[in-house]
Amino acid sequence: MSDTNANEFTLFHSSVNRIPSIRTQTSKIPKSHKWGFLGDQTPDPISEVTHEQLSGSISVRATVETPLIIGSVQRTKTQATKSNPSREIKTLSPHIVDDRAFIPPTMFKGMLSNAFEALTNSRYRMFDPHNTPLTYRIDPATSTSLMPVRIVHSENEQTTIEILDGSHSYRDYVTDGNHDIPITLTASLYDGTSAGISLREHIQTPRSNHPTPGGTGTPRDRFIAMTSPKHGEPFPEIYFDATLVSNGLYAYWIVTAIYRTEDQEQADYTFKIDYETLSLTYIDEKCSIKGYLYTTTSPTDRKAGRRTFKEKKSERIFFSLRESPLRIELNANDAARLFSRYDNTVNSYREMFTKREKLASKKGEPKPIPNRFINDRSWSISDNNSLAYAILSDDQSEIIDLVPIPIGRASYTDSPASLAEYNALIPPAFASEASSADRLFGFTADLPSVEDNSNTNQSHFSIRGRLSFSSIDTSSCDRYKGAPISLPPLLEPKPSSARRFLTTNDGKNIQPTNKERTDGTPHKLIRRQDYFLNGKQSLGRAAYPTHREPLKLPYKRRMIEPFSRDSDAFSVVESYILPGSQMTMTIHFEMLTPLELSILLWLLNPENLVPHSERGKGLVGYLHLGMGKPLGYGTLKVEATELRLQTGQQLATGYTQLDGCLGTETISSIDHYQVPDRFDKFPWVQAFQRASFGYTDGIPVRYMTRNENRQNNATNFDDGYPKEGRALEATQLFPSEHHPSSGEPICVPKPV
C-alpha cells in the first residue's frame, strides 16, 4: 500500500491479486480419472522403474525483462535528526562470485514450484501455522451496538452472561425536537481533569483506626486509587449517582457521585457539570446505582495524565437499572470458544502494540500508551465476574463474540489454517495426501500423522522430489553499476489484510464488483465480520500481475525509478541485473509421468502464459523472481530450449544390458508432450495466465493508496455494511459468467 499517488481515485489494476484454490472436490479425483493428476495420492516410488515413466533433462533460458533485484540484504540505521527520526534501511545487492552474479538454484526452483502449484491446484507447499483467527477493526455500527456484559459462573460450573444494558430497560432514547437521540449503555466516569467537569472530595469520618486504601497523595490521586482495579477484583463493584445529558448527537450518563459502600449517605467524591462549557443539555438523573468499574487505562497512566488515545476523556461503569439483569446461558463448548476468541483478540493487541512501540522507537517518537489489557495479566476473561463487550445476534439471544474495548478489534470466526484445512490446502501430513506439486517437488511432513488404514505412527518424514536444478550460468548477465537507488516502501503485509486473498468456494470475488452492483447482479455485500467462514470461503494464492507498460520500452530504458521522497525510503538498491540479460540452467527430472512432464514443459513455454482473449498478437507471458514484484520488477521470460529424455523401458533395458543409465538420454521434441484438451479452461490456469501476462489496456498496475484504502473500508453507520461503491477487491483473474474478461480494473470512489 502506498502513501499517496497522483492517480489515486482513478482506474487501476491491483498489483497484488490471487489465484483461486478450490480443492474440496478436485483433491478427491481418483488416479485413474482423466484429471487424476489433480487429486491427492501417494507418489510412485522413485526406486521402481516403470515403462511409461520418463527421465532426462530440460535446458532452460531465462531473459531478464525488468530489473532483477536479488542477493543479500544489509540492515543499517540512519542518524536521527530533528526533522528525520532514525530509520532502518535495507541495502540490496547481488551476490558476486568470480565477478558474476550468483543466483541460488533454489530461487529458480521456488519460482517454478509456486507456478506448478498454482497450475495444478495443489496444496500449499509452504503455509505458516495461522492456527488462531485473525482480527479486524470493528465498524462503527457494530461498535455502537456492543453490549456490556458480565461473566458469572455458578457453583455447578454453569456459565451465564449477564446483560448490563444501562438504562435501556426503561429508556433507550431521548427526544430532541423532531428526532430521537440514542442513549449510550454505560456511564462515563471522569477524573477531574476535563474542562467543564470538576472533582470534589468529601472526607469521611474514619470508621476505624485502619487507613483507607490509597488514602495518600492529592484528592485526585485518592480518587484514582478508589476507582482502580483491586487485587482479586479486576472489575470491582461501585455505587454512584449519575445525570443523563445530551450533546445533540447522543445522550449519555455522567457519574456525579461515587460511594465507597452501598450504605453510605454522603458521597466520597462528587462531580460538578458545567453544562454551558460542555454544550450539554440536562435530561434526567438517577441515584444509588450499583455498577461495575471498567477501566481501560492503567492506574499509573491515569495518575500521570497519560491517555491511551488523545480523545479519551473518561472511564466506564457498566450497570443495569433492571431489578435483575437479563441472562444468556452458555454451554461449556460455547463458553470455551468465546473465551478463546477474546484471548486471541487481546493477543493481537499485544502483538500490534509491540510493533507500534518498535516503530515509534525507530522514528524517535514518544512511546504509545498501552491499554490496560495489554499489560495486565492478573486476570482472565474466564474468571468469575469478568467484564467485556459482547457482539449479540440481531435478536439479542446469542453471544457472537466478546471483545475488550468498544472502538477496537474482534476476531474472525475461523482461522486461516481452519479454512485451509477445510479446503484441503494445508501441506500434506502423510503420503496419501500428496498433491501434484508435492509429488513432483517433494515435501516434508512436520506434524505427527497416522497413515490411512495403518497402525504405524509417523512423526516426521520426507518424500524426495523428482527434479534437481543445476547451477545457473549468469555469464551473460550485466549489472547496474551506478549510484544506489531508493525504492518506494515495500510494506510488510498486515495479517489483518489477509481477507484480500479470500475467495468464494468457487474461486470468485467475495464482494460484488462495481459492475455487478450497477448491473443488479444478485451478489450480496457482506460485512467485515462475515469473512473467514468455513464452508463459504477459501484462500487464494498471492499473485503479482505483470506490468506490461515497461515492456514497451527498449531494454536500456527499463530502469528502476528512484523513489521521489528519498528521506522516506526503507530500501536501497546498490546493484541489480539489467534487463536484456540472459541466464541458463538445466533441470534434471527422474521418473515423471508423461502428463507431469507435459505440464512442466507447458509452463516453460511463454506463449502458453497468455489468456485466450489476448492470443494472436505475438505476445508472451512471464514468471517473476526476486524483490519488488508488486512494483513490476523481476519479470523473466522463461523458456525450455532443449529436451533430452529416455523412457523407463529404455532405462530398464540399459540397466539390464549394462549399456545405459540416467544421463544417457537423447534429444526429444518438446512439442511432442502436450497437456490434455481443456487444461487451460480450469479457472486456476486462466488466472495464472492473466497474472503472468498482465493487462494491455494501458491502465496502471499499482497498490491502493492509504487514502483509497480508507475510503474503501468505509461502512454505513446504521448497519455496518460497506458504503456504496466500497469494499472493492482486486477483480478475479479468470473469466466467468459475470466477468467475461478477466481482471477488470477497479476505481475507489472519491470522498464526498
Q: For the residues of 299-338, what is the DSSP string, one character each?
A: HHHHHTT--SSTT---EEEEEB-SSS-EEEEE-HHHHHHH
Which residue type sits at 215? G
Q: Which residue shows C-alpha cell 529404455?
A: 650
Select from 265, 297, 324 the last residue of a domain.
Answer: 324
Residue 208 cell numbers, joined? 476505624
Do 98 and 179 fall within a single domain?
no
Collapse the DSSP code of 486 into the 3-class scheme (helix H, G, I; strand E, B; otherwise coil) and give the result: strand
Annotate 177-202 with b (16+ C-beta within 10 A) or e (fewer). Answer: eeeebebbbbbbbbbbeeeebebebe
Q: Is the pLDDT of residue 568 over 90?
A: no
Report the alpha-carbon distance of residue 682 to residue 509 in Å, rounded: 16
pLDDT tens-digit series, residues 575-616: 999 999 999 999 999 989 999 999 999 999 999 999 999 998
The per-residue pLDDT for 75 is 80
The per-residue pLDDT for 484 is 92
The per-residue pLDDT for 4 is 58
The per-residue pLDDT for 458 is 47
Select from 295, 324, 353 the last residue of a domain.
Answer: 324
- The length of the chain, given as a count of residues: 752
The per-residue pLDDT for 181 is 92
What stretches of 80-152 show up as alpha helix (H) in DSSP? 105-119, 140-144
Do 677 and 611 fall within a single domain?
yes
Do 632 and 570 fall within a single domain?
yes
The per-residue pLDDT for 491 is 58
Report the alpha-carbon distance of residue 543 to residue 64 in Å, rounded: 19
User: Among the ranges 42-56, 348-362, 444-458, 550-564, which has the highest mean pLDDT value?
Assistant: 550-564
Confidence of residue 81 (pLDDT cuts 50, 70, 90): low
Judge contact between 592 and 665, C-beta under 8 A. Answer: no
650 domain residue, yes or no: yes
How many domains does the chain divide into?
Answer: 2
Which residue type sits at 159? T
Confidence of residue 451 (pLDDT cuts 50, 70, 90): very low
The per-residue pLDDT for 496 is 60
The per-residue pLDDT for 449 is 43
Side-chain-side CA neighbours of residue 218 (13 Å) = 9
Do 189 and 96 fall within a single domain?
no
Select from 279, 294, 324 the last residue of a domain.
Answer: 324
Mean pLDDT of 206-233: 78
247 domain residue, yes or no: yes
Sign of the C-alpha dihedral computed for residues 597, 603, 606 and 611 taken in this order? positive
Sign of the C-alpha dihedral computed for residues 465, 466, 471 and 476 taken in this order? negative
Do 504 and 579 fall within a single domain?
yes
The CA distances from residue 93 to 70, 561, 576, 657, 718, in Å, are 7, 16, 7, 52, 52
Q: Which residue shows C-alpha cell 539489467?
A: 578
* DSSP structural state of residue 157: -
* DSSP structural state of residue 673: -
Report the alpha-carbon distance of residue 101 to residue 575 in Å, rounded: 10
Q: What is the mean pLDDT of the chain?
A: 89
Judge contact between 296 and 405, C-beta under 8 A. Answer: yes
Q: Is the pLDDT of residue 705 over 80?
A: yes
734 domain residue, yes or no: no
The per-residue pLDDT for 143 is 87
Report the alpha-carbon distance of residue 72 to residue 62 in Å, rounded: 21
Neighbours of 37 (CB within 10 A): 25
Do 169 and 125 fall within a single domain?
no
Confidence of residue 214 (pLDDT cuts 50, 70, 90): low
Among 130-144, 423-437, 486-500, 592-606, which stretch is predicted with the lowest mean pLDDT? 486-500
Report the alpha-carbon distance of residue 64 to residue 646 in Å, rounded: 31
Report the alpha-carbon distance of residue 488 to residue 571 in Å, rounded: 8
Report which of residues 568 and 416 the model is more confident about: 416
E-strand ranges in 507-581 read 537-539, 541-543, 571-573
pLDDT tens-digit series, residues 107-156: 999 999 999 999 999 999 888 778 889 999 898 888 888 999 999 998 88
Q: Is the pLDDT of residue 469 over 70?
A: yes
Do 224 and 180 fall within a single domain?
yes
Residue 684 cell numbers, joined? 486456476
Do 645 and 693 fall within a single domain?
yes
Q: What residues does 457 pair with on adjacent strands?
A: 450
Among 106-110, 474-478, 747-751, which stretch is predicted with the lowest mean pLDDT? 747-751
Q: Please provide residue 686's backbone torsions phi and psi, each rounded to the nearest 5 degrees.
A: -65, -40
End-to-end CA distance of the chain: 22
Radius of gyration of the chain (CA): 32
The per-residue pLDDT for 45 is 84
Judge contact between 625 and 66, C-beta under 8 A. Answer: no
64 domain residue, yes or no: yes
Neighbours of 670 (CB within 10 A): 17
The CA distances from residue 398 to 163, 390, 721, in Å, are 11, 10, 21
Give the domain extent around 108. Answer: 13-132+435-712
* pLDDT above 90 coverage of the chain, percent: 67
254 domain residue, yes or no: yes
pLDDT tens-digit series, residues 648-684: 777 777 777 777 677 777 899 999 999 999 999 999 9
The CA distances from residue 338 to 242, 261, 287, 668, in Å, are 32, 33, 34, 62
749 domain residue, yes or no: no
210 domain residue, yes or no: yes
The per-residue pLDDT for 207 is 53
Residue-by-residue DSSP string for 4-72: --TTTTS-BEESSEEE----TTGGG--TTSTTGGGS--PPPPTTS--TT-EEEEEEEEEEE-S-BB-SE
The per-residue pLDDT for 456 is 46
Which of 56, 37, 39, 62 has its CA nearest to residue 112?
62
Do 500 and 578 fall within a single domain?
yes
Confidence of residue 339 (pLDDT cuts 50, 70, 90): very high
Do 85 and 230 fall within a single domain?
no
Q: Please provide residue 32's backbone torsions phi and psi, each rounded to the nearest 5 degrees.
A: -75, -15
Do 295 and 225 fall within a single domain?
yes
Do 123 and 176 fall within a single domain?
no
Among 192-196, 352-356, 657-661, 689-693, which stretch is predicted with the lowest mean pLDDT? 657-661
Q: Is the pLDDT of residue 311 over 70?
A: yes
Confidence of residue 448 (pLDDT cuts 50, 70, 90): very low
Report the alpha-carbon distance of residue 399 to residue 327 in Å, rounded: 11
Residue 736 sits at the vertex; the CA angle it makes with 730 and 740, to the nearest 5 degrees, is 85
Confidence of residue 2 (pLDDT cuts 50, 70, 90): low
Q: Is the pLDDT of residue 454 over 70?
A: no
394 domain residue, yes or no: no
Alpha-carbon dihedral angle through residues 657, 662, 663, 665, given to the nearest 10 degrees = 70
Q: Is the pLDDT of residue 397 over 50?
A: yes
Q: What residues does 292 pair with on adjacent strands?
A: 237, 318
Sign of the C-alpha dihedral computed for residues 384, 390, 396 and 398 taken in this order? negative
Task: State CA 616 to chain mean position distance.
Answer: 39
Mean pLDDT of 407-436: 92
